[in-house]
Structure 1
C-alpha cells in the first residue's frame, strides 16, 4: 500500500516514526513522511521518502545559558508571567499554522491508501485527507494528549473539549496505536475499541553488553527540561557524591537548572549513548508525578537501557512500576524526592548482578523486532479487502 505519515515532530529525532517507516517499507509498503524541521539531505532507512513543513519558533526567552543559575528580579518575573499567560494560545497558533501549510503540500500529492497520523495535532488534517482519498486512517497516539503537563496557564475547558474532539476523529480510524498498556486502557475506556500497543523499544543489539562488575555512575540521557524531575536528580547527586551523576541531552529553551555536582556531558549518537550507559552501569528514567500522561508513560530511555543491558532507577509511577517489577529491571524512587532516588540507587547497587540478569532476560521481549511485528500485522489486515467484498 501507499502510506502517508503526517507528524509535527522534528522527524530526524523521532525514533518512533523512523522505525515505523522502516518497518513498513521492509514489509513492502511505500511510505512517504511529511514532518517538521527535516535537515537538508536527510534520508530515511529502508527507502521511505520525506518532506518538511516548517513551524514558527517558540516565544522569545531570556538570554543566558539554558542550564545554570536562573536570573531574578522584577523584570524577569514579569517576562515569565507573560509567557505563562500566552503560551497556550501560542502553542495552538503554531500548530495550526503548521497544519495549514501541510494541507497545501498534501493537496499536491497523489492519493494514498493509508494516512497515518502521529499524535493528535495531525489527526484532524489526516482524517480530512483520508476521507478525500477514501483511504484508511491510522491514529498513532504517542501520548495521552489532553492529559499532559504543559507549560503556561491552566486550560481545563480546552482539555475537556479536546478529549471529545479527539475521540470523534479517532473513531474514524481503522486502528489506533499507542505506547503503553496504561494509555491503551484509558483510550478503550473512553470509547475506542481497537487500540494496540507498539512500545518505543529499540532494535536488539548484535553485540553482547559489557558492564562493570559494579556501577561506576548514573547517566540521565534524554531531554533536559521541565517534567523530567531533574531537580530531584541534582539533590540525589549531592547525597551520592563522590559517586558520579552524568547528564546528557538537548536542553529546552528557557530551562534553568543549578546542576550542582551533576556533570554535563556532550550529546552523542544513540549507539555511543549505549557505550556511556554501559560504562556508567545505571540509567536514570525520571519523570514528575504531575499528570496522567506521565503516570501512564513508558519513556524511550527505559527501552534504551534494556537494549544496552543496563539496569535502571526509575520514577515510581504506575506504568513504569508495572514493567520494571515484572521484568526485574531496576529500582523505583518517589518522584520529586532526591533522598528516595539516592536510596534507590544504593538498593540497586546492592543487588546489581541480579538486576543485570533481569535486564538481559527482558531483552528477549522488550525489543523493536517484537513491537514492529504488531505494526506490520495491523497493516497487513488493512491491505486485505473486506470479507464481503466482491
Structure 2
C-alpha cells in the first residue's frame, strides 16, 4: 500500500517514526513522510521519501539561538515577559500546530491519493482524518503520548483539554487501528470506546553484535535525551553531588530557555544511537527520569528505557506506575522517587551493589524488549488493513 505519514516533530530526530517507516517498507509498502525541519540531504532510509513543512520556532526573544538558556534576571521587564509567555503559550502552541496543518494541506493539495494515512499524534489527526475521507483511504492514529494529559508550560487550560479529549476520541474513532506506546495509555484510549488499540513500544532494533562484557561495578550513570523541563534532571544533578566517585553524564539537545545547574555533571551534545550505546556501556547505568507532574508521565514508557536494554545496561527509573510495573517485571534495575535526588543516588548504589545480577536480567530480556518484537505488531496491523 502507499502510506502517507504525517508528523509535526523534526523527522530526522524521531526514531519511532523512522523505525515504523523502515518496518513498513520492509513489508513491501511505500512510505512518504511529511514532517518538520528536515535537514537538506537527510536520508530517511531505503524506500522512504520525505518532505518538510517548517513550523514556528517558538516564543523565545529575537536573536536567541535555539537551545540557549535565557540569562537569569529578576528585573521588571523579565518578570513581565515571562508572565506574558505563561499566559500566551497555549494559544501560541495551537496557532503554530494549526499553521503546520494548513501548510501541509496546501503541500498535499492535488496529489494522488494514498491507501493509508498514518497520523502521528493528535496535532496531525484532524488533517489525517480529512485526507483519509477525501481519498477514501484507511486512517491509522499513532498516539505517542496521552496528548491532553501532558504537563505543558503555560497557564492551565482545563476546558480546552476536556474539549480536546472529546475531539480526539471522535477523530480517532474514524481510524481502522490506533497505535500507542504503553499498555497504560492503551487502556485509557480503550476506555474512551476506541475498539482496536494496539501497543507498539518505543523499542530499538538489536545491535548487530552482543553487548560487550561489563566490569563488576559501574563507573557512573547517564541520562541521554531531551534536556528540558519535566525530565527531572535536577534530581540527576543532585544525585551527582551525593555520588562524587561516580561519573555523571547528561547528553542531548537542550530546550530554549531551560536552565540547569550542571555542577559536577558532564554535559554532552546530542549523540547517535551507537554513540549512546557506547556511553551507557562506559558508565554502566542508564537513568530514566521523569517528573510526577502529569498522567502522561505516569503512563509513559520512554524510549531511553528500551535504549538501555538494547545497550545491555541496567536502569534507575522514576517510580511511576507504568515504569514501576515494567522495570520490576523484568528486573531491569531499581526505582527512585521523582524529584528526590537522595532517592536517585540510593537507587544507583543499590544497582551497583548487585550489578552483575541486574546486567544478567537486562540481557535475558533483550530479545523480548526489542524492535524485532514490536515491529511485528505494526506489520500485523497493516496486514489487517490490507484485508479489511
Q: Please list, as runs of the form range in 1=range in 2, the aligned pairs for 1:186-335 lying within 5 A after superposition.
A: 186-210=188-212, 211-335=214-338
State the SS of the aligned residue for 2:239.
Answer: helix
Q: 2:88 aligns with which of 70, 86, 102?
A: 86
Q: Deviations over 1:142-193 (max 9, x none)?
A: 0000000000000000100000000000000000000000000010111111
Is the Cα–Cα contact under 8 Å of residues 241 and 264 in structure 2 kept in the other structure?
A: yes
Structure 1: runs of 5 or more not aligned: none
The answer as to 2:22 corresponding to 1:19 is: no
State the SS of the aligned residue for 2:46.
Answer: helix
Aligned-partner Cα distance in 2 for 1:110–1:36:
21
Q: CA deviation at 1:242?
A: 2.9
Is the Cα–Cα contact under 8 Å of residues 61 and 253 in structure 1 kept in the other structure?
A: no
Aligned-partner Cα distance in 2 for 1:263–1:271:
19
Is the Cα–Cα contact under 8 Å of residues 146 and 185 in structure 2 kept in the other structure?
A: yes
RMSD: 1.4
Structure 2: runs of 5 or more not aligned: none
**Normalized against structure 2, the TM-score is what?**
0.97
Q: CA deviation at 1:69?
A: 7.6
State the SS of the aligned residue for 2:262.
Answer: coil
Q: 1:212 to 1:69 in 2, by over 3 A?
A: farther
Aligned-partner Cα distance in 2 for 1:113–1:82:
44
Aligned-partner Cα distance in 2 for 1:234–1:197:
33
Is the Cα–Cα contact under 8 Å of residues 33 and 51 in structure 2 kept in the other structure?
A: yes
Aligned-partner Cα distance in 2 for 1:322–1:351:
20
Task: Indicate the residue corresponding to 1:130 in structure 2.
Answer: 132
Aligned-partner Cα distance in 2 for 1:195–1:341:
34
Is the Cα–Cα contact under 8 Å of residues 317 and 336 in structure 2 kept in the other structure?
A: yes
Q: CA deviation at 1:259?
A: 1.0
